Chains A and B, each alone.
Chain A
């Protein structure tokens, strides 16, 4: 009995922080794995629609992104409010799409080139005109695999 009481009467107990680095490291690894480096600063407002039938894009290196939307507030004085195309990190004209695709294509190993996907990130409020023109450009340059970027719609009615 005296053994127990002796232990308890020690100096003020302190929580061991020895495992703290481990906990932080676990968090760190989690974020390292899910991280996608911000490739481009968005200069257009892109708010993609909500849909139910989604497919996931597999390999990040095989995807190129085309953004279509209205310029954000900062650029409206310069570029107006009409929907614009953004390639990489700058505004572009539609006829720059083939070159943009080619630049991405040469970076991809030849065996993987047929699997290159173009991800169209289009704002929901944009009209189809500019999207259609972009699609025509994609078809003309032989880039036929296209993914319309969208978000998952949580549908309470159907399920």
Chain B
């Protein structure tokens, strides 16, 4: 009898926590296995609504249109000139802002329209890279303007009014034409 009471005394009020680590490890391993590192990032675009009627043709001054064609061989034709994708961003920026007032570039940023057309045989990778460069050109211009006006980079966290004031001055107008189907899919 004396022995039993002694054992109880030794236990006192402590819970044995040595298995806690094991339990936590088990849970940890479960989550490690099921984890996929979130790569939910990408280029967000807004598609134009579908309409059955044919869109009416709008005449635009050719100086305001920046046409980008991508063929099935993943080559670029920008304003009827072949171009390397690495030059696209700078070229597009120059076209939109037209800093030197050239007569063959956009009248002003609000009039500039980017027209993108690809082939059904174009690689998706190339298409996305072209899209990325065009979006990047606008992003850089927005950044520059935002730095000038407000002293900080353009980002989605900025107040809506600030973003709107910048977007009004340099609106992103990117029109995608129906793709051609010359190339092999």
Contact = CB atoms under 8 A, between A and B. Distances in A.
Contacts, number: 156
B41 A56 contact: yes
Contact of A38 (B21, B36, B119, B129): B36
A36 interface: yes
A144 B135 CA distance: 18
A54 B24 contact: no
Contacts of A130: 185
A38 B48 CA distance: 32
B44 A21 contact: no
Contacts of B128: 49, 51, 124, 148, 150
Given A54-B41, A119-B40, 14 more contacts: A21-B24, A24-B21, A24-B24, A28-B24, A38-B36, A53-B139, A56-B41, A117-B44, A122-B124, A128-B118, A142-B50, A146-B45, A149-B39, A152-B41
Interface of B: 17-18, 20-21, 24-25, 27-28, 31-32, 34-50, 72, 118-125, 127-129, 131-132, 135-136, 139, 156, 179, 181, 183-185
27 contacts: A21-B20, A24-B25, A25-B24, A28-B31, A31-B32, A32-B31, A34-B37, A35-B31, A35-B34, A35-B36, A36-B40, A37-B34, A38-B36, A49-B125, A51-B132, A53-B132, A55-B41, A63-B40, A119-B40, A124-B123, A127-B72, A128-B121, A135-B47, A139-B47, A146-B46, A149-B39, A152-B41
